[in-house]
Amino acid sequence: MSSAHTKNGAEGILGLRAGEDVNEVRLKMKTGQHEDQVQISADGRTVWVHTLDGSTVGRFSKVFGMDVHRTISEQLAGAGQCLWCTHEAPGPADWSKFCDLMLQHYGIAVDRSVVSFTQEPLE
């Protein structure tokens, strides 16, 4: 995060946490996004995204790929399930695409820093 993002006390005014981007926080505030709409697994390898109606509309897994779905309400009204789904191990470009799709379809800003593709230790 650059110092330009945190000058003039933006952390205190917006309640930023360490590493949060002020522009992402402003977008969340503008769209009415709740922090529990984006869930991250403890190991940081899976992210789930939920709409306010309770639908899980996105899942990104560093192992299984990504699913971007319509809401349950849309599916019950006859729409298909998948907007963009893959079934293979993703890379950084896929993570970026997932974040873009969540914003495009649902106005949900996913913090791009929560998933990293740096070398992970072998288990």
pLDDT in tens, 56-96: 999 999 999 999 999 999 999 999 999 999 989 999 999 99
The verdict on 60 and 11 lying in the same domain is no
**Residue 3 has what pLDDT?**
36
SS3 at position 96: helix
The DSSP letter of residue 81 is S
Cα–Cα distance between 18 and 1 in angstroms, integer?
9
What is the value of pTM for the model shown? Answer: 0.70
Task: State the Rg of the chain over Cα.
Answer: 16
Please check whether residues 47 and 106 belong to one and the same domain: yes
pLDDT at 6: 34
Range of the domain at 106: 34-112
Q: Is residue 99 part of a domain?
A: yes
Statement to judge: residues 42 and 11 lie in one domain: no
48 with 10, same domain: the answer is no
Per-residue pLDDT tens for 15-34? Answer: 445 555 555 555 554 455 67
Per-residue confidence (pLDDT) for residue 118, from 0 to 100: 83
Checking DSSP bridges between strand 82-85 and strand 65-69, what pairing results, if any? Answer: antiparallel
Clarify whether residues 39 and 20 are in a common domain.
no
Same domain assignment for residues 39 and 8:
no
At 120 the pLDDT is 58
Number of domains in the chain: 2
For 94-115, the pLDDT digits (tens) are 999 999 999 999 999 999 999 9
Q: For residue 120, tell me if it sits in a domain.
A: no
